[in-house]
Amino acid sequence: MDKSFDVVIIGGSAAGLSTANSVLNWYPGKKVALIRDVPYTVVPCGIPYIYGILGSVAQNKIPDEGFIKKGMQIIEKKVIHVDRKNKTVIFQDESKVSYDKLVLALGSRPNIPSMEAITFANVFPIKKDPVFLEDLNQALEKSRNVVIVGGGFIGVEMAEQVRLKEDRHVTLVESLPHCLMLSCEEEAGILVEKELEAMGINVKTNTTVEALVGKDRVEEVVLSTGERLKADVVIFGVGCSPNTELAERIGLDADRTWGIHVDEYMRTSAEDIFACGDCCTKISAIYGEPVAVRLASVAALEGMIAGSNLYRLTRKNRGVVGSFATKVGTISVGSAGYTEKACRDQRINYYKGEMTAPDRHPGSLPGCTPQTKVKLLFDASTDQIIGGHIIGGIQVADMVNILALAIQQGITADALATVQYATHPLLTGSPLVYQVMWAAENALVS
Ligand SMILES: Cc1cc2nc3c(=O)[nH]c(=O)nc-3n(C[C@H](O)[C@H](O)[C@H](O)COP(=O)(O)OP(=O)(O)OC[C@H]3O[C@@H](n4cnc5c(N)ncnc54)[C@H](O)[C@@H]3O)c2cc1C
């Protein structure tokens, strides 16, 4: 192993790999090391599919070869300290490597509620570590009763995939009135619940887990309703927190709620140390307030910004929109920016427009989702789009990305209603009803 590098990146997932790509593109010839404390990197967003359509952890791997070919070296060790004065990274086995520029892409860890029995071997807060994910795979193989706590996107995707093995009883427990409410419109959550129930999943909303009961293993989960659920495996998907400990230990500005403090160039409070991804602070691209959006797409974007800024400040981070999509059963939902609930909670004066139409034309074409719905939210004082929500078929992700771009650029309702776009019978809805533009038009005339 070499001992001295131009760029050392700690963290081998979305943010770290994207940083490495960016450095090698912008500054060819720089010697880059990427450090991770796992044997290989999994596709984080692919984790739920390990337990269903993918079938194994190995199928959900990000290959190293492309990065190694580009010149990146991978070091599989845990970093325990950084000597800022001597610019060295120190590993658990006391070996060291030196850097000129350091990038912290330390990620996040799952929130673990403090309750008795939470550490038992059949309780799994979803970690992005292949060894842990394999343990979960083996535990699920032997299980008949699975309780999933948290109805956000991780919980609903896990429930859907775990239930693909039909002799498993799956219960999803969510404390809010509906699933996905922290990122999507309420109506999207309701439809997703119906889809999960149609698959035989027991969905319990407005319900919390009060206790885990068992001697060495959890055997029952006690709910706030008094109900007791049998459990062979309990999975928690109840949010995540930024990994800030290393940064705090070496004296960087950071806090445990929002992450390691960074500026718009992804620079930390220390010279020559950058940070990106789930471990660092985010601000909203809409109103500039701190937000707790932790997504792989944001991590990769921030890695790209950090990597290109290491030796020359080339670009700024314009903030986070929070663009997200998921597919459950036959429906897909997508969301970008503010929901109506968030607007009401934050007393934002907004108006909205909606359009529901088939996503093929004519709607009799195979593969059509007849009720593809777009809802757009506009700031009443500026007319700029601040939220976009879609329910439909597989086109949802690409459509919501258009809305994320519109939000990032501060596009007004009129500009969005008159934007130029492509339509085709087999690929989109009709230009007479194309949902994104017509929802904007409907907002203007409502
Ligand atoms: C089940 C699940 C599904 C998801 N689905 C989606 C989705 O569909 N779309 C989406 O956009 N986002 C999704 N996310 C969120 C996404 O996974 C995260 O936003 C993303 O992984 C963040 O990437 P990151 O590189 O910042 O951090 P992480 O992925 O958390 O990686 C951090 C890395 O740092 C390493 N590390 C940390 N500390 C040290 C140390 N001291 N020494 C050495 N190495 C260290 C870790 O080993 C790891 O390699 C999902 C998350 C989960 C859990």
Exposure pattern of 88-108 as b/e (b: 16+ CB <10 Å)?
A: bbbbeeeeebbbebbbbbbbb
Q: How far is the CA of 37 from the centre of ligand 1 (A)?
A: 12
Q: Is the CB of 13 under 6 A from ligand 1?
A: yes
Q: What CATH number labels 7-109+241-309?
A: 3.50.50.60
- Would you give the distance in Å from CA 204 to the centre of its chain? 23
| Coil, helix or strand at residue 374 | strand
139: nearest Cα among 127, 122, 155, 157: 122
7-109+241-309 with 123-238: one CATH topology? Answer: yes
pLDDT surpasses 80 at 117: yes
- Mutating to test ligand 1, I would choose from 13, 183, 276, 305 the residue with most ligand atoms within 8 A of its C-beta, which is 13
Second-level CATH architecture of 123-238: 3-Layer(bba) Sandwich (3.50)
HEC string of 231-256?
A: CCEEEECCCEEECCHHHHHCCCCEEC
Q: How far is the CA of 46 from the centre of ligand 1 (A)?
A: 11
Token readout for 19 is 């940083």
Per-domain residue ranges for the chain?
7-109+241-309, 123-238, 331-445
Q: Is the CB of 9 under 6 A from ligand 1?
A: no
Alpha-carbon separation of residue 413 from 286, 390, 431, 439, 440 (angstroms): 15, 17, 17, 9, 5
Determine the average pLDDT of the residues in 361-390.
Answer: 97
Share of the chain above pLDDT 90, in %: 98
Q: How far is the CA of 106 from the centre of ligand 1 (A)?
A: 8
Q: How far is the CA of 162 from the centre of ligand 1 (A)?
A: 21
Q: Is the CB of 12 under 6 A from ligand 1?
A: yes
Q: How far is the CA of 356 from the centre of ligand 1 (A)?
A: 35
pLDDT tens digits, one per residue of 167-219: 999 999 999 999 999 999 999 999 999 999 999 999 999 999 999 999 999 99
Q: How far is the CA of 133 from the centre of ligand 1 (A)?
A: 13
Backbone phi and psi for residue 364, each to the nearest 5 degrees, phi listed first: -80, -5
Q: Is the CB of 10 under 6 A from ligand 1?
A: yes
| Coil, helix or strand at residue 22 | helix
Q: How far is the CA of 299 from the centre of ligand 1 (A)?
A: 8
pLDDT tens digits, one per residue of 130-165: 999 999 999 999 999 999 999 999 999 999 999 999
pLDDT surpasses 90 at 2: no
Q: Is the CB of 246 under 6 A from ligand 1?
A: yes
Specify whether the CB–CB gap between 46 and 296 falls below 8 A.
no
Model pLDDT, residue 108: 98
pLDDT tens digits, one per residue of 62-82: 999 999 999 999 999 999 999
Burial of 272 per CB tally in 10 Å (0-12, 13-18, 19+): middle
Which residue's C-alpha comes closest to atom 32 of ligand 1? 107
- Would you give the distance in Å from CA 188 to the centre of its chain? 18
pLDDT surpasses 80 at 1: no
* 13/245 Cα distance (integer angstroms): 18
- Mutating to test ligand 1, I would choose from 45, 238, 304 the residue with most ligand atoms within 8 A of its C-beta, which is 45
Model pLDDT, residue 166: 87
Which residue's C-alpha comes closest to atom 5 of ligand 1? 45
Half-sphere exposure of 268 (CA within 13 A, CB side): 28
Atom from ligand 1 closest to the CA of residue 325: 8
Q: For domain 331-445, which CATH number applies: 3.20.20.70, 3.30.390.30, 3.40.50.300, 3.30.70.260?
A: 3.30.390.30
* 12/14 Cα distance (integer angstroms): 7
Q: pTM of this prediction? A: 0.96
Where residue 446 falls among pLDDT bands split at 50, 70, 90?
Answer: confident
Determine the average pLDDT of the residues in 112-131.
Answer: 95
Q: Is the dihedral of CA 108, 110, 114, 118 positive or negative?
A: negative
- Mutating to test ligand 1, I would choose from 34, 37, 64, 333 the residue with most ligand atoms within 8 A of its C-beta, which is 37
Q: Is the CB of 294 under 6 A from ligand 1?
A: yes
The amino acid at residue 317 is N
Going by their DSSP bridges, the two strands 331-337 and 385-392 should be labelled as antiparallel
Specify whether the CB–CB gap between 319 and 407 falls below 8 A.
no
Model pLDDT, residue 256: 95
For the beta carbon of residue 445, count every other beta carbon within 10 angstroms.
Answer: 8
Q: Is the CB of 280 under 6 A from ligand 1?
A: no
DSSP letter at 171 equals: E
Model pLDDT, residue 114: 93
Q: Provide long-range contacts, Cβ within 8 A and 24+ apart, for 417-424.
A: 417/441, 417/444, 423/361
Average pLDDT of the chain? 96
Specify whether the CB–CB gap between 246 and 254 falls below 8 A.
no
Specify whether the CB–CB gap between 218 and 119 falls below 8 A.
no
Q: How far is the CA of 308 from the centre of ligand 1 (A)?
A: 21
Q: How far is the CA of 107 from the centre of ligand 1 (A)?
A: 5
105: nearest Cα among 21, 9, 28: 9
